[in-house]
Amino acid sequence: MDLQTAEKRARDLQNILNQYNYEYHVLDKPSVPDAEYDQLMRELIELENTFPELRTPESPTLRVGGDILDMFNKVEHRVPMLSLGNAFNEQDLRDFDRRVRQAAGRDVSYVCELKIDGLAVSLKYTDGLLVQGATRGDGTIGEDITSNLRTIRSLPIRLKEPASIEVRGEAFMPRRSFEALNRARAERGEEPFANPRNAAAGSLRQLDPKIAASRNLDLFLYGIGDVGETGIESHSEGLDYLEKLGFKTNKERRKVSDIEGVIEFVSGWVERRPDLPYDIDGIVIKVDSLSLQRQLGTTAKSPRWAIAYKFPAEEVVTTLLDIELSVGRTGVITPTAILEPVQVAGTTVQRASLHNEDLIREKDIKIGDQVVVKKAGDIIPEVVNVLADFRTGNEKEFHMPTHCPECGSDLVRIEGEVALRCINPKCPAQIREGLIHFVSRDAMNIEGLGEKVVSQLFAEQLIQDVADIYKLTKDQLLGLERMGEKSVTNLMRAIENSKGNSLEKLLFGLGIRLVGSKAAKTLAQEFGTMDRLMEATDAELTAINEIGGKMADSIVTFFDQPEVKELIGELKAAGVNMEYKGPRPSAAAESDSFFAGKTIVLTGKLEQLTRNEAQEKIEALGGNVAGSVSKKTDLVVAGEDAGSKLAKAQKFGIEVWNEERLLEELNK
């Protein structure tokens, strides 16, 4: 066959196969037997292998997976992919409706859609051709996973119209695919995935697209990033337009005229969700009118015109097999329930938090008990109660130990605390947990140095304190199990980059008792350098609004230790930054702003700002935002459902503002 004939045949095969693919995976109405589809696909593969120049970007052969990638490139979303605020009950939905109608000044229509439990993705098309697919990431920056998304057969590579458009959807793994995948993994002796969502996310972040292709993922489109010049005026019209372009949308949606229709739709799906061939974890409710959506606007994290109703937490019964003890970085001994594996809210649960000995006594928990376990969303599973009527007499009382399970030192209970502590500073568990904390995201944020790697390095005695992290060599790391050339190179780069972190990251990472991330930032801003902070007295520390007497004592005691001074010296020698690099309030803000030098507490639910937004704006104007009310507090801003902090402010005679008064002052 000559090139011209092959080119025509390849084009015909691509068109035929893409149409058959659309009929099967989008319309769910296949027009030909699988055998015929497979025969035509084999013919196209042979043609493209013979004439590689015929393999175009829209070829269905690319759905079986292309070349292995080196890494995922970063992608900036032109329109941010915001997360949704949550509703957990009918009253939350009515409160959302009230806020929307107050802003709109009229009744509002909504669109209700199933909240697919998968991975949010953004797809970019130019002249009808898929050019890029990306993960949501942090909402602004995602990762380019185009090669993996191409393997999803319900995703059109070329649209039915030459539209240039950016659309959003949810990639997911159907239950049938999930069950087949876990069966195959079990046969290979591999650990099964906990739930379809994790399996889908893991599949789309494989560097080898052939792995993603083998997982049989699916995709529902739920929105358009920017309707632009399309003339679309409502969300429901947008979904219809996506279908017209050849996208697969979820048919289980409904446009309703008021909140009563929303509540009826939600109630129906609470019971019907197990009947679906895929997992959902709630219902998404959106204002239908796009002009009203624009009027309502967004906060930094979520739109004010949409909300996600989360299904009630599932509760299941299982057996409590044992109680395991762990030692945290501050020496606290934490009991954890070891359970007979059970499915709760879409995940396999084998462990649940018991918090402390007092809770075990309060709930009368014994080893061998039948217990009710609850898990809501991403919250850690908890033991709700014991089914005492099912006891056989073989259950065993649990008693907290008198000595540390790791180092054997005596355990103590500090006055006023419920926790037992190991106070041995050389306890291996505390050292290991301290190292894990030091490299964590909110501290030094050393990517690639997670809990498993830290534990491995500690076990191999390559790191005994945080300064040792900066003494690691490439040769040492290459000698470890599962540490290849590329991962070691990336880890060494991440360690080097962490040296440039601003001072507050280091302070938080050091794990000073009572000093959280907010206090660490306050200390870094106030003192500027590590040397100045190390010399600070109790009086200088307590003069700072957010620093109380106990925290000041803890800081002074920490830096008085010779071992700490030696550690700081080693970190300095390694090139770790010891200065604050963050923004400081401008001189104008410090002198002119109402907030300059004042301590403000935020409490209750704000409607127009998130807590973080309000805090950032206040701090930019020279104010300090504290977490609790004291006699040093200058102002309390109270939103809806403000509780004990508002009562305390009123008791102390502290000035109280509502959100409108706050916004008025911020806008001056």
Which residues are the active-site residues?
Answer: 115
* Beta strand ranges found along 173-313 (DSSP E): 218-224, 254-256, 280-287, 306-310
* Beta strand ranges found along 387-442 (DSSP E): 411-412, 421-422
Tokens 């005691």 found at? 557
- Strands ordered across the beta sheet of 165-172: 129-135, 119-126, 165-172, 218-224
Cα–Cα distance measured from residue 602 to residue 612, given in angstroms and rounded to the nearest whole number: 10
DSSP, collapsed to helix, strand or coil, labels residue 588 as helix
DSSP 553: H
- Which pair of tokens denotes residue 24? 């099967």
Of 426, 373, 402, which is closest to residue 563 (Cα–Cα)? 426
Q: Are 10 and 2 a contacting pair, CB within 8 Å?
A: no
- Which pair of tokens denotes residue 79? 């329109």
DSSP, collapsed to helix, strand or coil, labels residue 467 as helix
- Which pair of tokens denotes residue 408? 């054997």
Cα–Cα distance measured from residue 311 to residue 441, given in angstroms and rounded to the nearest whole number: 30
- Which pair of tokens denotes residue 361? 């006594």
For 659-666, which contacts have Cβ atoms below 8 Å and span 24 or more sequence positions?
Answer: 659/606, 659/607, 659/608, 659/609, 661/637, 662/609, 662/614, 662/637, 663/608, 663/609, 665/594, 665/595, 666/617, 666/618, 666/621
Q: 197: part of which helix (H) or strand (E)? A: helix 196-204
Chain centre distance of CA 376: 15
DSSP, collapsed to helix, strand or coil, labels residue 412 as strand
Buried b vs exposed e over 477-507: b needs ≥16 C-beta within 10 Å? beeeeebeeeebeebeebbeebeebbbbbbb
Q: With the CA atoms of 637, 640, 641 and 645 taken in that order, what torsion angle do they form, in degrees rounded to the nearest 10?
A: 0
Q: 165: part of which helix (H) or strand (E)? A: strand 165-172
Cα–Cα distance measured from residue 436 to residue 186, given in angstroms and rounded to the nearest whole number: 31
Chain centre distance of CA 336: 23
Cα–Cα distance measured from residue 132 to residue 146, given in angstroms and rounded to the nearest whole number: 5
How many C-alpha atoms does 623 have within 13 Å on its Cβ side? 24
Adjacent-strand bridge partners of 566: none
Cα–Cα distance measured from residue 224 to residue 244, given in angstroms and rounded to the nearest whole number: 13
Pairing status of strand 655-657 against strand 635-638:
parallel
Cα–Cα distance measured from residue 238 to residue 163, given in angstroms and rounded to the nearest whole number: 14
Q: Provide the 10 A C-beta neighbour count for residue 613.
A: 15
Cα–Cα distance measured from residue 421 to residue 413, given in angstroms and rounded to the nearest whole number: 6
How many C-alpha atoms does 445 have within 13 Å on its Cβ side? 11
Cα–Cα distance measured from residue 202 to residue 64, given in angstroms and rounded to the nearest whole number: 17
- Which pair of tokens denotes residue 648? 């305390």
Q: Are 150 and 62 a contacting pair, CB within 8 Å?
A: yes
